[in-house]
Structure 1
Amino acid sequence: MLFLQAIQWILDPEHWAAVNFQAGIAEELGAHLWLSFLALVFTAAVALPVGLYIGHTGRGRGFAIVVANVVRAVPTLGLLSVLLLVSLALPPAVFVFVLLGVPPLLAGAYAGLEAVDRQTIDASRAMGMTEWQILRRVELPLAAPLILGGLRGATLQIIASVTLVSNFGINSLGDFILGGLAANDYVQMTAGAILVTVLALLVDGLLAVVQRFAAPRGVSRGRGTTTARGRRLSVPTGTPVSEGN
């Protein structure tokens, strides 16, 4: 019953427009998407170059894993509170969500390149290709499914975590959850949770379609992975795969 009431609340046109200086669903959704997009752009700018360097050269992998594990252990809400108090030049919320998004995208980038068969790379060098050409024409196309898998993980992490900024007066879909909690309006709380969940699922579904068609012919598309000589790898979602899957 509560779920159906929440769906009716979402479908009510009055809740989509701002009323009495209170943002509606459209405004909160736009703010949520914009903050998520900014965080994802900065995440890609940080994680992709580092991940591609590690995957191509094989250097720094252990250090990257340690840093990623440390970042995952940091409490998001606590870090948001500290950064909002010191008021950094870069919007604190974006900085925090970048930290959350970097580990899965970084893992997808270097794992994707490491999965490319070394014989393929050696053959490319034998043909006279430069390291940049190998990265751009050989490794990136083959690693694209795993990289996109890491992007999916980062995107879901960011979209889900952006709801926390409502605790600090920043617009997001989390406003409906907090507002409902403050007013004991469980229908609004449930509606807010549904909106966040549906947004995350829609974006993930879109990226899943892109990931499925990103693999070149002959490369596994089911899980977006390319394996090398039967080695078992873990995709960013943590699912082990092997050649022949």
Structure 2
Amino acid sequence: MSIIDETVRWLSEPNRWSWTDPAGIPYRTVEHLEFSLLSLAVAALLTIPLALVLAHYRRGEFLASSAVNIGRAIPSFGLIILFWFLASRWDVSTTFWPLLLALVALALPPLFTNTYAGVTSLEQDTVDAARGTGHTELQIMLRVELPLASPVILAGLRVAFLQLVATVAIGAIVNDGGGLGRYIVDGFALGAGGYGEIVAGGIAVIALALVCEGVFALITRFAVPRGLALQHRGRSENPHAVAPDPS
């Protein structure tokens, strides 16, 4: 039997499309998304407010640049194993916390960097105008800088979330859930008889990542005002362009 035949046979099993059976792809997809979204939410709460404040006062530039390098250097699998080892030594549940902490750590660098860069790249005249009209520093951050930096922040959220979706699959090695990655791990455990499950699990992870990419594109399209999105795109294509005089 070829790998394609094994994959089709595995996908055609009666419980494969159940929302309530752990063997079902919909069940594992929801589990995969729950872990990814929870990790993204925790990382965003820890990172975006801090980056917004530091960028507003033009502090933490070294921290922002370091976050880029740290984000590139951190091995996701190594983090998962490290937290799993610490949890097992400290008698903490290894089915939830190791993967969650590893995912949050992976999402922090792109969220911090994009938020900081998005705010510091704004025209200072806009901030000064808001300050001149009587806005407090908090109002400037929330009503001026945060909305104007939203395209860059959303880009950071997209990068972080796609990285999380991919890493949850790896986390199935140390997590009893693991989302769609459970199929890949279980397939390897079966040896030659699990090739169909491995292929199906890999295709499911790729499909989920593509769908999430499309969803984030729609969110960006509808959440960011069209004029601001076009302005940001123009600056990205021509970073040396001079903004037109509003008068």
Measure, in 2, the Cα distance between the counterparts of 1:221 and 1:3. 45
So what's the TM-score if we normalise by structure 2?
0.81
Residues 67, 113 of structure 2: 8 Å contact kept: no
Task: Determine whether 1:127 maps to 2:133.
Answer: yes
Aligned sequence identity (%): 35
Q: 1:67 to 1:220 in 2, by over 3 A?
A: closer
Structure 2 residue runs of 5 or longer lacking an equivalent are none
> One-letter code of the match for 1:34?
E
Give the structure 2 partner of residue 154 of structure 1.
160
Quote how far apart the aligned CAs of 1:3 are: 5.9
- Within 5 A, what are the aligned runs for 1:208-227? 208-221=217-230, 227=235
Residue of structure 2 aligned with 1:96, choices 102, 105, 113: 102
Q: Alpha-carbon deviations, 1:197-221, whole Å to 9, x = none? A: 1111112211111112333353234
Give the structure 1 partner of residue 25 of structure 2.
25
Greater helix content: 2
Task: Determine whether 1:201 maps to 2:210.
Answer: yes
Q: 1:17 to 1:219 in 2, by over 3 A?
A: closer
Measure, in 1, the Cα distance between the counterparts of 2:118 and 2:141. 12
Give the structure 2 partner of residue 236 of structure 1.
none
Quote how far apart the aligned CAs of 1:54 are: 2.5
Deviates more, 1:153-162 or 1:34-43: 34-43
Give the structure 2 partner of residue 60 of structure 1.
60
Q: 1:146 to 1:175 in 2, by over 3 A?
A: same
Quote how far apart the aligned CAs of 1:138 are: 1.2
Structure 1 residue runs of 5 or longer lacking an equivalent are 233-241
Q: Alpha-carbon deviations, 1:55-106, whole Å to 9, x = none? A: 2111002123214422542322222222112216681211110111111111
Residues 148, 211 of structure 1: 8 Å contact kept: yes
Quote how far apart the aligned CAs of 1:2 are: 4.9
**What is the RMSD computed on CA atoms of the aligned residues?**
2.9
Residues 112, 226 of structure 1: 8 Å contact kept: no
Quote how far apart the aligned CAs of 1:175 are: 1.2
> One-letter code of the match for 1:62?
F
Residue of structure 2 aligned with 1:106, choices 106, 112, 121: 112
Partner SS state of residue 157, structure 1: helix
Quote how far apart the aligned CAs of 1:46 are: 1.3
Partner SS state of residue 105, structure 1: helix
Q: 1:187 to 1:127 in 2, by over 3 A?
A: same
Give the structure 2 partner of residue 80 of structure 1.
80
Q: Which has the larger radius of gyration?
A: 2
Give the structure 2 partner of residue 186 of structure 1.
195
Quote how far apart the aligned CAs of 1:124 are: 0.9
Quote how far apart the aligned CAs of 1:227 are: 4.7
Residues 22, 28 of structure 2: 8 Å contact kept: no
> One-letter code of the match for 1:129?
H
Question: How many matched pairs?
Answer: 232
Partner SS state of residue 170, structure 1: coil
Measure, in 2, the Cα distance between the counterparts of 1:69 and 1:170. 32
Q: Alpha-carbon deviations, 1:147-193, whole Å to 9, x = none? A: 11100001001010011121114212111112222222222111101
> One-letter code of the match for 1:51?
A
Residues 9, 187 of structure 1: 8 Å contact kept: yes
Residues 36, 158 of structure 1: 8 Å contact kept: yes
| Runs of 4+ displaced beyond 6 Å | none
- Within 5 A, what are the aligned runs for 1:1-16? 2=3, 6=7, 9-10=10-11, 12-16=13-17
